Amino acid sequence: MPAIEVSGLRKAYGSLEAVRGVDFSIEEGEVFGLLGPNGAGKTTTVEILEGYRERDAGDVRVLGHDPKRPGPDFRERIGVVLQQSEMWPNLTVRETHAIFAGYYRAPRDVDEVVALVGLQEKANARIKSLSGGQKRRLDLGLALVGDPDLVFLDEPTTGFDPQARRAAWEMIRSLRSLGKTVLLTTHYLDEAEQLADRVAVMRAGQIVRIGTPSELTTTELQTEIRYRENGEEVLVQTGEPTRVLAELTAAAVARGEELEGLQVRRPTLEEVYLSLTAEEEGVEA
Amino acid sequence: MSAEAIRIGARRPARRLFFHQLRSEQLVFWRSREAAFFIFLFPLLLFVLLGSVYRGRIYGVPAPQFLLAGLIGYGCANTAFAGLAIQLVLRRENGILKRLRSTPLPPATYVGSLLVSTLIVFSLQTVALFLLGKALHDTPFPSDIASFIATIVIGAAVFAALGTATASVIRSAEGSSAVVNFILLPMAFLSGSFGPTLHYPAFLRAIGDVLPLKYFIDLVKAVYLHGHGIWTRPQDLAVLAAWGIGGVIFTKFKFGWEPRER
């Protein structure tokens, strides 16, 4: 049974259609990335799945529950990192974890979770003394302390410095090794590429592409081959990079020349993403 | 430790959750120096100050006792109304309330433990006022303890309902303490928290006459100063009940768990 199944999901705020017919499903143990610019409808989608918002139309199943009317164990089995939340500033990291642990029937060991999110040295520090990155790690720890099967991470690394992001990525990867299902929203493309088994690109309330990061990058844009000839940059875009490259190199070898600055690269997810969202803009215009 | 918690939790999760949350609320409250000072200590401080100003008797009652009754009223409004409203707005705007809603903690358990926690703070404050009164001015303790406890519980419930209702209409964390004090301080002044009101202009007394705090202070005075049973004051109880029910209904329709500002 998939952990999450969504079909025909729609949600409007007044005249603004935030989500306009979204379908996807997430398998158990999968890390799924919902990618898109601000205002694409990612957070609205996730908050419907978490049970915060009512949907206007569509079918939604989360761990077998309808989040609109969840059974009693629904909240035992999910962990949530909200896009923005603060905790009680005067409590310590450990105390806050212990409070959250008390809400669950079978919580994980508090000190273990504090260590898992890398806050063991801050366990007795008050929350108001934590840095922004440490506060996000606290949020992640609080989402994990109930030992959930499904974890929602809404832009978990927004505002992190590069080092903190790497550390957060390591933690999210460790969730996969714990067998958790993860739904991650992000507007960082490299983050989705690094972490997600599959990615859905959202734009203006709809999913415009869905697939593994490598599927998205191989099918969408042609491979680029670059080199310099007589001091001038040459760019070849092709869907058949093997053949084209063989011809180019064969010709160069036959001439006894070196292809200066030869580069072969696949488009990054970022380029795919930009082309997808640009394409969509074109449709709207 | 955790195996024990699971076993107990499986047997009576609702009760366990309630006491767990009550302990958490108490920890949060006393850990915050601002809350402990402005909510708990401030009425005690006012009692010391006003007690050194008013001498002799007020309406035939020794001044310190009269002030004590008024400051119990102020303490109630300050703790259950102002303190609760400000805490709730801060927690809502910080996203704490929203975050808690995704946990298995039922909203009713959360609200219940917050109210009992507020009642504990107000009760301790009242005990501290009496001890302070005894030490400084040899004021007596209430003679009808049952009526007095009932009065304290009713007052805390009514002002907590008004506190949650007020939290429902405040839009930002920054403005919450300004809005709440804008209501609290005039209400306390008009209702006689800080001294007698008979010499106030008639229109000010008329405003005081519709506010719930006046009726709570009247009730405290009847029970504490004159030794009357709480049921001898049905009119005060009726006005307090009307305000309390109004607060509950307003909260029911207007209160939100999610940040308003974002």
> Looking at beta carbons, which residues of chain B come within 8 Å of A95?
27
What global pTM score does this model have?
Answer: 0.85
The stretch A1-25 carries a mean pLDDT of 93
pLDDT exceeds 60 at position B249? yes
pLDDT exceeds 80 at position A268? no
Query: What confidence tens digit (pLDDT) does each residue in A78-89 have?
Result: 999 998 888 999
- Which chain B residue has its CA at the smallest distance from A140's CA? B99
pLDDT exceeds 90 at position B59? no
> ipTM of this complex > 0.85?
yes
Pairwise CB contact (< 8 Å): B99 & A105: no
Query: Which of A52, A91, A102 is facing B28, going by the closest CB pair?
Result: A91
What is the per-residue pLDDT for A279?
Answer: 55
pLDDT exceeds 80 at position A114? yes
| Amino acid identity for residue B169 in this structure | V
Q: What is the dihedral of CA A51, A54, A55, A58, to 10 degrees?
A: 60
Query: Per DSSP, what are the bridge partners of residue A12?
Result: A17
How deeply is A137 buried, as exposed, middle or buried, from its count of CB atoms within 10 A (0-12, 13-18, 19+)?
Answer: buried
| pLDDT confidence tier of residue B56, bands split at 50, 70 and 90 | confident
Between A241 and B32, whose confidence is greater?
A: B32
Nearest Cα of chain A lies from the Cα of B144 at a distance, in angstroms, of 39
What is the per-residue pLDDT for A1?
Answer: 81
Q: Which two tokens mark B142?
A: 């209430």
Distance between CA atoms of residues A238 and A247, nearest Å? 13
Report chain B's mean pLDDT, rounded to a whole number: 91
- Which chain A residue has its CA at the smallest distance from B106's CA? A103
Q: Given CB atoms, is A38 within the 8 Å cutoff of chain B?
A: no
> Looking at beta carbons, which residues of chain A come within 8 Å of B258?
52
Helix (H, G, I), strand (E, B) or coil at A106: coil
HSE toward the beta carbon, residue B147, CA cutoff 13 A: 22
Query: What confidence tens digit (pLDDT) does each residue in A197-231 have?
Result: 999 999 889 998 899 988 877 665 677 888 888 77
What is the per-residue pLDDT for B156?
Answer: 97
| pLDDT confidence tier of residue B4, bands split at 50, 70 and 90 | very low
Report chain A's mean pLDDT, rounded to a whole number: 88
User: Is residue A77 a contact partner of residue A28, using CB atoms and an 8 Å limit?
Assistant: no
Q: Given CB atoms, is B20 within the 8 Å cutoff of chain A?
A: yes
Pairwise CB contact (< 8 Å): B31 & A78: no
Mutate to test the interface with B, among A54, A73, A90, A112 (most CBs of B within 10 A): A90
> Looking at beta carbons, which residues of chain B come within 8 Å of A103?
17, 20, 103-105
What is the per-residue pLDDT for A278?
Answer: 67
Report the share of chain A in percent with pLDDT over 90.
Answer: 50
pLDDT exceeds 80 at position B43? yes
Query: Which of A90, A95, A107 is facing B2, going by the closest CB pair?
Result: A107
Candidate from A145-149, A246-250, B24-28, B92-96 with smallest mean pLDDT: A246-250
- Which chain B residue has its CA at the smallest distance from A73's CA? B104
Phi and psi at residue A91, to the nearest 5°? -90, 160
Pairwise CB contact (< 8 Å): B20 & A99: yes
pLDDT exceeds 70 at position A261? yes
Query: What confidence tens digit (pLDDT) does each residue in A182-197 have?
Result: 999 988 888 888 899 9
Interface of A with B in 92-111 (CB under 8 A): 95, 99-100, 102-107, 109
pLDDT exceeds 60 at position A270? yes
Interface of B with A in 83-102 (CB under 8 A): 94-96, 98-99, 101-102
| pLDDT confidence tier of residue B240, bands split at 50, 70 and 90 | very high
The stretch A252-257 carries a mean pLDDT of 87
